[in-house]
Structure 1
């Protein structure tokens, strides 16, 4: 049944109608025990990863729902760091980093080398997304990047940016309180929000304000931190500086405000006793204990996880049946992230049909996901010149679609994750939609050639991974199961088969014979027949609005 038909399928029972009077769906976090088919598998994979290949879907279909979620919540190994791909056209890294060697521990260098390293960092990050393992880890790094947003153009030092990324990776599925502390002391964040300028003679409130408003308790109707709380927080955080050689932060006790800091009644009128010497560093732990004693921290983060992975609209039903129980679980587990994700991805709410195919793909979901689900091949990282060049193609495509990795538009992250009332609808407009179509059109046709490598979709290879590509009916249906999150009508499937794949003139047998002829003798003539028709089919599928949904 397609989504539009589902939404008007049958009248609700009086009990369900009453519940829906204050929400779009009445499901909660009870364990999901419904069917586990291609639709549910693809739904889970496309929310937890960037795209889902036919091989991914086939693998996860062999698992139970519980096993699939547990597999996705595994942590990926730490990646090999980015390398110098920028010693080109006569340029040489002035700090002596050789081509192909990593720059993450090199001296600072000048402005030009830092610009080149920032670009290297972005391409490297895209490469990690494209080559992700079957886990949620890479998607969670993006989630935390949007939450603890920094901008490369403000931080400027590529080494700080890389270390910040590694911090997000280390804690991506770990403890949120520990992550908040690590980010507070992170050199990239200390630069981005002026923490390194925060001294007792001139407290800087920039990071202090965002710690409350954007990073922990939020600014919702139940968050009542005050301006004096921000001022007290700024004083707690005085004295942290950055060592440009080690790229680590350190504490200078002579710059720290050692007087007592009192917080508002909302924070229980707690007082942090001022400390001198190196004991001043323990005030940060005191501060986090005060903030994390507030239940609103857990609710704020659970709402952000919900909007990122499920749907943007949090009505009263979702607040009561999903956010509140998840937040309670978060607090009961001392702010460990993994139990919350386990409960969410195993819940009846997550697999509620109303929560499937209801998100618009972000530009990174669209570009990286397209490459992954079609199995686009990229050069190995060891061939760094071609690899970084092809990763740049994807990074640039997402950037002009308004998601420039490493450079969200501000400290709040990308507007599509928080801006009411549009939220994710902001990803699609008269500028970005044509650019999405241009990217997919070129990828399915001539591709993007960088050096000696062409980034292009091989539609024949994609079709080969489907159960029965020789059957045009099954070919279309199985392709849509992977590529679409919204069911389409039988009429649409028939149109795709008859008018696009078979060009409106041939019978089903024509395709079967053409495919079998190619399989038995893949010469240029036989290949050309199936290639052109598959290119037309997948180009048309990607240009329909349904392809924009995750």
Structure 2
């Protein structure tokens, strides 16, 4: 018999959570069938999400106007750029909120964190929108194809200085992060690798940087373009592969390396399962088939069906990020995106398209400081201010259970129940406090 709690857990980790009725619908044919709905949903179009219209980009005009001798023209271009940046953030948040099957937007957001890229340096929202499209369209397919596309992505080339990488003056930034963060895992100072198989060394970074020379951003399309005259055609060695290597060869060597599967699986399992290192037994087990096929959808299916995914330790292991928390609340409340949403997320410390650095956002306990608790309360007041409370129009004695069904919380702890029960006569206050309860902060 399928447990309602199991399906609710799946909905939180694969998406942004579901109300009790939606959990029942997802699990109607059993837990394994629910997993199939999630995984296959990654391949289907989502009309409500696709109906959210992206900003109108005029990057070419802005680029030209920013070079104008007229200060007023430059100021207007900068203002237009800032407006488009804000509109892009709202566009993605709206997609997350209205998606019928939110699994696709959640996975795209997880990859955005893994391949962390920020508007702060990239500046041009059209390039970030194009990168989002790559993550969205390829993020459920083969990992090597995803890495290959991002290695020549315009936003990534700017973010990690790949567009400055040329023969005779190699820039190692992208090569280093490609190996260290995106594919193989971190090598601590001193050269003692965190993986038993010693994934890479400084010579590999240098060789990869030379092999990746020649890529720039086309100013008319925003896409990466290869300039042969800037490429180093010499012989290089990367991860044991020697030859006149280029981008294709580096991506193949990195994604085909035995350390890649364990690193990538540990990163994804740490976001949908529980925090883990590449040598964690569950990661080792899940990495073996992923190493053979690099199939992301198949990897997620194995994660959600693994016994460890439903263990009590896993259910309590993750804390919702601010984006997950806000989007989950808006979806539960069937609420439009408030005008202040971006400012709320700035205050909470997480805004889409603006990770703090190349390693992405912090996780779990980093979001549980006293300051963040105060900000969540202020945000919860905003989120519930115009919420439709029709589902809470029940007898006060039944209201706490109704809030739980609305937020997808299966059970309240005795302490939370006592705290919330004091406000059962005030539905809006009750809902506000339920949003910041420990039970609703666990992902």
SS at match of 1:262: strand
For the 8 Å contact 1:82–1:103, the answer to whether it is kept is: no
Query: Cα gap change, 1:149/1:391 in structure 2, threshold over 3 Å: closer, same or farther?
Result: farther
Give TM-score scaled by structure 1 length: 0.71
Structure 1 residues 492 and 256 mapped into 2: Cα distance closer, same or farther (>3 Å)? closer
Which residue matches 2:382?
Answer: 442
1:360 to 319, 325, 328: 319
- Distance in 2 (CA, whole Å) between partners of 1:484 and 1:153 is 35
Which structure has the highest helix share of the two? 2
Separation in structure 1 between the aligned mates of residue 273 and residue 87 of structure 2, nearest angstrom = 32
Task: Give the CA deviation at 1:136.
Answer: 1.1
CA gap of 1:81–1:237, structure 2 versus 1, over 3 A, is: farther
Q: Judging changes above 3 Å, is the alpha-carbon distance between structure 1 residues 83 and 328 closer, same or farther for their aligned structure 2 residues?
A: closer
| Aligned pairs (5 A) from 1:213-232 | 213-219=180-186, 220-222=194-196, 223-232=198-207
- The CA distance in 1 between the partners of 2:278 and 2:252, in whole Å, is 30
- Pick the aligned partner of 2:38 from 72, 83, 94: 72
User: 1:209, 1:199 → 2: CA distance?
Assistant: 15
Q: Could you tell me how far 1:356 is from its partner in structure 2?
A: 1.3
- For the pair shown, the structure with the greater C-alpha radius of gyration is 1
What is aligned with 1:192?
A: 159
Matches within 5 A, 1:241-280: 241-263=216-238, 267=239, 269-273=240-244
Residue 399 of structure 1 and its aligned partner are, at CA, apart by 2.1
Structure 2 distance, partners of 1:66, 1:270, is: 42
Per-residue deviation, 1:332: 2.2
Q: List gaps (5 residues or longer) in structure 1.
A: 1-34, 85-101, 275-282, 379-389, 417-423, 448-455, 503-532
Within the candidate set 286, 311, 332, 2:274 is matched to 311
CA RMSD, 1 decimal: 2.3
Partner of 1:91: none
Matched, 1:285 2:266: no
> Is residue 336 from structure 1 mapped to residue 276 from structure 2 by the alignment?
no
Q: Choose which of 322, 325, 328 in structure 2 pairs with 1:369.
A: 328
Partner of 2:173: 206
**Which residues of structure 2 form unaligned runs of 5+?**
67-76, 187-193
Q: CA deviation at 1:315?
A: 9.3
Q: What is the aligned partner in structure 2 of residue 134 from structure 1?
A: 101
SS at match of 1:501: coil
**Partner SS, residue 7 of structure 2:** helix
Which whole-Å deviations, capped at 9, do the CAs of 1:146-196 have from their partners, x for residues lacking one?
Answer: 111111010011211111111111112111100001000000001111111
Normalising by structure 2, we get a TM-score of: 0.87
Report the more deviating stretch, 253-262 or 110-119. 110-119
Cα displacement (A) at 1:540: 3.3
Decide which of 407, 429, 435 is 1:483's aligned counterpart: 407
Q: Distance in 2 between matches of 1:328 and 1:315?
A: 12
What do the CA deviations read for 1:508-530 (whole angstroms, capped 9, x no partner)?
xxxxxxxxxxxxxxxxxxxxxxx
